[in-house]
Structure 1
Amino acid sequence: MLCESRFIGSYTVFLPQYYKCSGCGELLLPKEASGIMEAREKELLEDLISNLPVKQFITAAEAAEILGITRQAFHKHQRIKKGFIYSAVIGGMRLYSKKSVQLFKEKKDGRFPLAVSTVKDEVEYVTVLLNSAASSSAGYPQGKDFSVGFDSSRYIFAYNQPTCSVQ
């Protein structure tokens, strides 16, 4: 299924099971769908960040200097810990995107849109997942529609309960 992120663009996630109301088309996702979707988004984000040119990265000390704080304050900052500044481990050392640090200084959010992975990568990902699902499809109901629903930036979840009055 196709998902959307404001930072990585469109990406594909394989969900082996979900339900679609035949009346209104609203989707019902199992509770494990959130973990699958978040893991896929994190995987793609880390891959895109690590593919940025090395010369666009700076050390924590340089990032702290740009922000006007100590290195210790930089490492303890909750928004930085939560990923509001892009970072990657390069050569065994965590480095930070200079552009992300500068955006963080201006807006308190250093995240910016990254290039979307190629269609070829998405096709390979879906092919691998479909092959693995075909070999382990026991236990999943057959004949269900496959899609996903979003409520703003959060996922919609309901568990085997109709969400409309259409029968």
Structure 2
Amino acid sequence: MIGLYDIAQRELAKDLIFEVEGESVILSIKGVMLATIGSTQYSFSFVEVSENEFVIVIQLRGYAIYVGIESDEGLDEDVYVDLFRELIIQLLPAIELLLQRADRMNYREKRKADIILDDGMSAEMKEFFYRTLSRHMKNLPIYDQTEVA
């Protein structure tokens, strides 16, 4: 487990600067959680936690990686697609290092989920991470379906 914490701290605990609509926006990675999942498909999703905080969830190779990010200002929804594309490009090398380390330590056989970085998460972000961690540990659905699909 120490290796995962080290990689998260070294590779992900940082501020990223992006240009959004002609202005610089600082995105700070505040939290990272690694969880095992049943699917090996690749996908990603986005969860808005507060006005200036969100979580990107990247699923690949039987893992879900939750990356909690804080923006120095609120972002308009119309910039999300381009910003998330750039974020994923920036994050994938570090995520690949995490997954290689997780595979070497047989994480899938030993663990269900762990928060591997808490770099000053807000109360709202912590609540999201710990609620999601608990759902993974109990094998519960991560998202509640509130409407008929």
TM-score by length of 1: 0.28
Determine which structure has greater relative contact order: mean sequence separation of CA pairs < 8 Å that are 6+ residues apart, divided by chain length.
1
Which structure has more strand as a fraction of its residues? 2
